[in-house]
């Protein structure tokens, strides 16, 4: 039976997918790093009044170890992982990177079994197989452009490492999400990621280049809307799902985002939706239903 945790996990995947569709065209004029930086800063600013309304200004208690874990989780899962993921995207293209990204759920499941003592029931495992099979059908496409084999190898290495670090980042903070103020933990995690990106900018001396990127005329409406959905709302829903249900189950439900992207791109951007993609969507939705209802 579906509960709040399952609802939050599915809602997070839908919001994330919608943000990806909205940010597709802005991503053609604003580099990915700069776009990701704006999204994180925007979410951090939005969380300030959210914390004021929901938690007040009193600083919650975190032990030094907990604070370090939350900040490290943000640094690993947002700064390092996202940077490596974008590097993989540049090296081997979107289709191959999308397939590699499907490893997120298996990584979370493996880490949750070993470090959180979680397990999947038989029907949940069947739902997992359907979701993963559907994602592969939706994201796979034959590339007609020849790519250097060395680039593919490097891209796979960056891609696998980035997805693994994303999984590590969320698994390592799950216990703190369950015991400490939720919104504060989300904000601290974002600050950890932002700090990592700022350090990267300083070390690479890219502040002037980034300033030039934002000084141009940009499509701010989809950028702001996509950032609100992708970095603020979906982040809260995403972590709320991990707070309330096992991380292994939440990660599988989150995988439905890739299928939602295809469906929303068809509805909003009028992209093609062939038999293969429709079959993948059906498999993914069926797997999600099994995961939440059986």
pLDDT digits (tens, 9 = 90+) for 8-50: 888 888 888 788 778 777 767 787 788 889 989 999 999 999 9
Min mean pLDDT across 92-96, 119-123, 225-229 is at: 92-96
- The pLDDT of residue 144 is 47
150 by Cβ neighbours in 10 Å (0-12 / 13-18 / 19+) ranks as exposed
| pLDDT beyond 70 at 271 | no
Reading phi first (left if > 0) and then psi (alpha if -120 to 50, else beta), residue 187 is in alpha
Share of the chain above pLDDT 90, in %: 16
pLDDT-based confidence at 146, cuts 50/70/90? very low
- Average confidence score pLDDT of the chain: 80
Q: How far apart are CA 177 and CA 242, in angstroms?
A: 8
End-to-end alpha-carbon separation of the chain, Å? 7
Annotated domain spans of the chain: 4-140+148-293
d(CA 40, CA 232): 8
């Amino acid at each position: 039976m579906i509960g709040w945790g399952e609802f939050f996990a599915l809602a997070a995947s839908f919001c994330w997918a919608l943000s990806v569709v909205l940010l597709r065209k802005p991503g053609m004029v604003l580099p990915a790093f700069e776009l990701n930086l704006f999204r994180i800063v925007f979410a951090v600013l939005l969380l300030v009044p959210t914390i004021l309304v929901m938690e007040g200004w009193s600083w919650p208690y975190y032990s030094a170890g907990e604070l370090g874990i939350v900040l490290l989780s943000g640094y690993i899962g947002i700064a390092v992982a996202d940077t490596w993921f974008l590097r993989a995207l540049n090296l081997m293209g979107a289709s191959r990177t999308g397939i590699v990204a499907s490893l997120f759920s298996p990584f979370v499941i493996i880490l949750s079994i070993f470090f959180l003592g979680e397990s999947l029931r038989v029907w949940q495992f069947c739902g997992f197989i359907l979701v993963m099979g559907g994602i592969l059908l939706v994201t796979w496409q034959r590339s007609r452009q020849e790519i250097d084999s060395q680039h593919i190898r490097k891209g796979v290495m960056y891609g696998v490492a980035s997805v693994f670090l994303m999984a590590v980042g969320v698994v390592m903070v799950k216990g703190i999400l369950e015991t400490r103020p939720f919104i504060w933990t989300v904000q601290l995690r974002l600050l950890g990621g932002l700090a990592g990106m700022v350090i990267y900018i300083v070390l690479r001396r890219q502040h002037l280049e980034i300033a030039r990127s934002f000084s141009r005329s940009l499509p701010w409406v989809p950028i702001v809307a996509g950032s609100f959905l992708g970095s603020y709302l979906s982040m809260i829903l995403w972590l709320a799902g991990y707070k309330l249900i096992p991380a292994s189950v939440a990660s599988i439900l989150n995988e439905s985002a890739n299928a939602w992207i295809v469906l929303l791109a068809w509805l909003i951007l009028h992209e093609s939706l062939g038999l293969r993609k429709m079959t993948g969507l059906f498999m993914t939705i069926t797997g999600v239903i099994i995961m939440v209802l059986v």
